[in-house]
Structure 1
């Protein structure tokens, strides 16, 4: 049923995950582990290559630093994937993707999350906007720790390995491709029947910022913002939120002396006028010039 595709850099982690999947999935599967220690391919290329090798009609792209804590989760996911308009399914995502530079999730009120998250000392259960009556919550964007999709959907919208040359933004771009069609709906799995643990936190470093800027400019700015149809947002509210999170992104670039901070700051200064934006602009200019 499932072809499980893993970009591996740790034989030990791959072995542990393989055993965990064998013990818990509950349906027929194959595992395609691609050793990327010497290839050093972009993750988009690894995932596309794995999908081309897949023998089954349902794909699961997953990090090797995860563990399932429930049994027979494969059947639960399978039933949802069989819906004709189902796009991708993950474990964390957002109902809105702003035009402002950002990752998959920006605002807690719009985020759906249901998974164990490992930290430096303790593992916590991350739960956001999860309801008993809603085992699958519709979203626009998904985090890439685990992505389920039908193979025929991936064939129409593969990972963009020409644009994405590293290990960031592949998940955001992939889920946006599906959501933008309006033919497919992405979902976060919010049922306790499927409970996954992710052992590491995301790495929002300079490379992530570079790839995020590049992806927005070259591919998505003309189509954003995107939101699920069921969410009502006024133009004024959306503009206010866009400005707020664009400001946060700019301040981080300035604080970290990112090479693209000047260009992005110019974009921010050209944002439509408001008194709040004027105050933010003055603060950004001060930080850029004197810190």
Structure 2
């Protein structure tokens, strides 16, 4: 049995996804939807309300602009949880490396097969592009263990969701909730990507300054434990990944007109991690000064 929780801002999308879930889930379920057009609550707040209302032991948090193609996907979800009691979260897209440098659920500068594990059809609402079937299963597994999953669709055990919840005090918008939730349970429960549930997501997301500002808050919270990975990496691999990623992040923050103080704060906070050696910090700061001087 599965409780599906949806934060809605579009009645037409909600009606369509409700019909889609009912037709495809294949198990006893309930759909707990919230019309968020008027109150405009943050998604963490909405999801926490959903957790309180849910009556089933497995919870599915999903976007409303999704169409699931897999028949009886609920049976697969339940059997995956039953097959390994260490599993706490199941998603359809996730990353095997969570960088210390501010980033989402995957790090573009991570040059390793663990950069992503996914099976999803990505649509494009903001750009004139054809759908892309994003499939990456480098080890040909049924499920792959990851650090964090994309919030487009993921399932969690109710007791875990109740214990950790979503940090609505920190995150009041619609970004970063998936990353923060996964970081709160990583190491205590397995987080996995399944390749046996296929869906289409209509929107590619909006990774702008609003998104990054939420990511920076998450990093301030979790810097001490980052980076995290499911891959076996040498210190050198981590060092060069973080070097590439933090330089790229500095460039992005300058492009988006973050202040000197904000970039300085991001760099200083990264020192909380044991993986931020002073030489990398100094190189990052020198890169920052060079770019700032040129501008």
Q: Structure 1 length normalisation: TM-score?
A: 0.90
Give a deviation string over 1:26-73, Cα, whole Å, max 9, x none. 111110110111111110110010111011111000000110112111
1:289 and 2:290 matched: no
2:175 aligned to which of 168, 173, 182: 168
Point out where structure 1 has 5 or more consecutive residues left out of the alignment. Answer: none
Asked whether the equivalents of residues 250 and 264 of structure 1 are also in contact (C-alpha less than 8 Å), the reply is: no
Cα displacement (A) at 1:76:
0.6
Asked whether the equivalents of residues 2 and 28 of structure 1 are also in contact (C-alpha less than 8 Å), the reply is: yes
> 1:241: which partner in 2?
241
Cα displacement (A) at 1:284:
3.2
1:109 and 2:110 matched: no
Cα displacement (A) at 1:102:
1.0
Asked whether the equivalents of residues 101 and 246 of structure 1 are also in contact (C-alpha less than 8 Å), the reply is: yes
Cα displacement (A) at 1:130:
4.6
> 1:223: which partner in 2?
225
CA 1:9–1:236: 2 relative to 1, 3 Å: same
1:208 aligned to which of 203, 207, 211: 211
1:87 and 2:91 matched: no
> 1:184: which partner in 2?
189
Give a deviation string over 1:108-155, Cα, whole Å, max 9, x none. 6221011000023311100123554x1111001111001101111111
Asked whether the equivalents of residues 247 and 268 of structure 1 are also in contact (C-alpha less than 8 Å), the reply is: no
SS of residue matched to 2:23: helix
Give a deviation string over 1:214-243, Cα, whole Å, max 9, x none. 1211x2011112222xx2111122111111
1:199 and 2:213 matched: no
> 1:100: which partner in 2?
101
Cα displacement (A) at 1:282:
4.6
Q: Structure 2 length normalisation: TM-score?
A: 0.89
1:125 aligned to which of 123, 130, 133: 133
Cα displacement (A) at 1:255:
1.2
Point out where structure 2 has 5 or more consecutive residues left out of the alignment. Answer: none
Which of 155-164 and 57-66 deviates more? 155-164
What is the count of residue pairs matched by the alignment?
281
Distance in structure 2 (CA, Å) of the matches to 1:253 and 1:223: 23
1:69 and 2:72 matched: no
1:261 aligned to which of 256, 260, 263: 263
Asked whether the equivalents of residues 113 and 130 of structure 1 are also in contact (C-alpha less than 8 Å), the reply is: no
Distance in structure 1 (CA, Å) of the matches to 2:287 and 2:219: 24
> 1:138: which partner in 2?
145
C-alpha RMSD of matched pairs (Å): 2.1
Which of 107-116 and 247-256 deviates more? 107-116
Cα displacement (A) at 1:22:
1.1
> 1:273: which partner in 2?
279
